[in-house]
Amino acid sequence: MATINFGGVLEDVVTREEFPMEKAREVLKNETIAIIGYGVQGPGQALNLKDNGFNVIIGQRKGSKTWDKAIADGWVPGQTLFEIEEAAQKGTIIQFLLSDAGQITLWPTLKQHLTPGKALYFSHGFGITYKEQTGIIPPADVDVILVAPKGSGTSLRRLFLAGQGLNSSFAIFQDATGKARDRVVALGIGVGSGYLFQTDFKKEVFSDLTGERGTLMGCIQGIFAAQYEVLRKNGHSPSEAFNETVEELTQSLMPLVAENGMDWMYANCSTTAQRGALDWWKKFKAATQPVFEELYASVAAGKEAERSIASNSQADYREKLNEELKELRESEMWQAGAAVRKLRPNNA
């Protein structure tokens, strides 16, 4: 572990320098990694592991869209692509990468293949943390581990192909074999992590659910919509409102923040922009912090998990989801966004 100073707080992390790919391959040389689920995280993690030289197989329902996607990605039926039960039987490490609702449904089938010494791997702490609601209680004689890339599987794959990495958290819920730590760190390196920081299953899911509903997705859409509507009500065109609300942030300013931090981004903007940002950021913090406190309390109380399970388990979930996404997609702001994207050089 390398000790890094994070804003005055010392934290131990695992880097590729101290745990290189060669070591990861050595740790997992006799393992068969079975990826169960080929939706959000599955493709990126599976392809990165395969390209890094690990023994990977995929478990999917034959004839499903994701089965066909796996074939299109180069997985071969009967060799590296199998029905879920067969892949789970063959795997010594089972990466359970279905949606939270999908994990609940498949759990009675999957647990039959968790024989002693295997490892059960998650990329989200939901199923284990809310076990009273999910029913996911692993047997005592398997390792239970987690690697959670801090981004989508698409981002994980894109950064890998660009020679970069996406930072990930890792956790050990159960070490039955004495090898859980080496296994989980090797897998974290293998899937393409930039560096790994340790957490536990509960903290991972609490931070993840807060982040998704907060600054990563829910909050950002809310503040986009609010600013866009204020500009439009005051006579600004859709193009101007969208560019000042979304395009400049995502295409110009956020890359500067990612490069060197918010202070550096401020320092590289006009003095007028600097003054306004410094004057107003604390007002936005004061306005939104009560919402974040309410959100975290809801996550910690299990209310967000309860709502997710109830909603996502309904037979018509996909239809309802598509209707809600349609509302976003067909809003004037995101219609303007589609037009703006087409006008970028090379449609970037």
The pLDDT averaged over each successive group of 10 residues in the chain (348 residues) is 85 91 97 95 96 97 93 97 97 96 94 97 95 95 96 92 94 97 97 94 95 95 97 97 96 92 92 94 96 97 92 87 93 95 80
pLDDT score, position 324: 93
- Integer Cα distance of 76 and 74 in angstroms: 6
Residue 146: its H or E element: strand 143-149
Angle (CA) 277-283-284 rounded to 5° is 80
In this structure, are 221 and 121 located in the same domain? no
pLDDT score, position 348: 54
Number of domains composing the chain: 2
Q: Tell me if residue 124 is catalytic.
A: yes
In this structure, are 114 and 254 located in the same domain? no
pLDDT score, position 312: 84
Strand-strand pairing, 195-198 and 2-6: unpaired
In a domain, 177, yes or no: yes
In this structure, are 134 and 243 located in the same domain? no
Q: Phi-psi category of 325—alpha, beta or left, where left has phi over 0 and alpha has psi -120 to 50?
A: alpha
Judge whether 212 is annotated as a binding position: yes
Which residue among 50, 113, 118, 124 is the active-site one?
A: 124
In this structure, are 138 and 223 located in the same domain? no
List, in order, residues 6 or more apart from 213 with CB less than 8 Å away: 219, 295, 299, 304
Judge whether 270 is annotated as a binding position: yes
The token duo for 279 is 């004057």
pTM over 0.85: yes
In this structure, are 106 and 231 located in the same domain? no
In this structure, are 159 and 183 located in the same domain? yes
In a domain, 220, yes or no: yes
pLDDT score, position 121: 98
Half-sphere exposure of 21 (CA within 13 A, CB side): 13
In a domain, 20, yes or no: yes
The token duo for 153 is 């599987």
Judge whether 64 is annotated as a binding position: no
Judge whether 313 is annotated as a binding position: no
Of 292, 140, 155, which Cα lies nearest the Cα of 213?
A: 292
- CA quadruple 273, 274, 276, 280: dihedral sign: positive
In this structure, are 172 and 247 located in the same domain? no
* Residue-range definition of the domain harbouring residue 234: 212-347
In this structure, are 246 and 190 located in the same domain? no
**What count of other Cβ atoms lies within 10 Å of the Cβ of residue 46?**
28
In a domain, 88, yes or no: yes
Judge whether 152 is annotated as a binding position: no
In this structure, are 71 and 130 located in the same domain? yes
Picking from 167, 199, 231, the residue at the C-terminal end of a domain is 199
Of 183, 189, 181, which Cα lies nearest the Cα of 31?
A: 183
- Integer Cα distance of 136 and 102 in angstroms: 12
Picking from 164, 199, 234, the residue at the C-terminal end of a domain is 199
In this structure, are 151 and 247 located in the same domain? no
